Structure 1
Amino acid sequence: MLARAIVGDPETVRRGLAQKAEATGADELFVMAVGPDLDSRVRSLELITAG
């Protein structure tokens, strides 16, 4: 699973997602945030989309 993971600060993750989409020709991506509770998972997704 970690081979497909994109981990890092918000800019690193946004860049990694853009590179993944370009490399695969995808026009949308499914993102799964992992964390100990709902609030931390929601916050992770907010950080990715805030940029």
Structure 2
Amino acid sequence: QHTLAFVPSSGKIDSFGLGGNGQLGTRSTCNRMSPAPVKGCWRAHTDPVPMEV
């Protein structure tokens, strides 16, 4: 089992719990008992990005 937590103030996601198969997203297979940042390439949703169609 594992938990993901969105941190609105930073726009980041933290995870902790069982990570033996890499499911925490920390690029590790270690279990985490305290929150660790999830590695990824995304940005927090703030305002819509203008786009041309």
TM-score, structure 2 normalization: 0.21
Identify the structure with the greater helix proportion.
1
Q: Which has the larger radius of gyration?
A: 2
Instruction: Tell me: higher relative CO, structure 1 or 2? Use CA pairs within 8 A at least 6 residues apart.
Output: 1
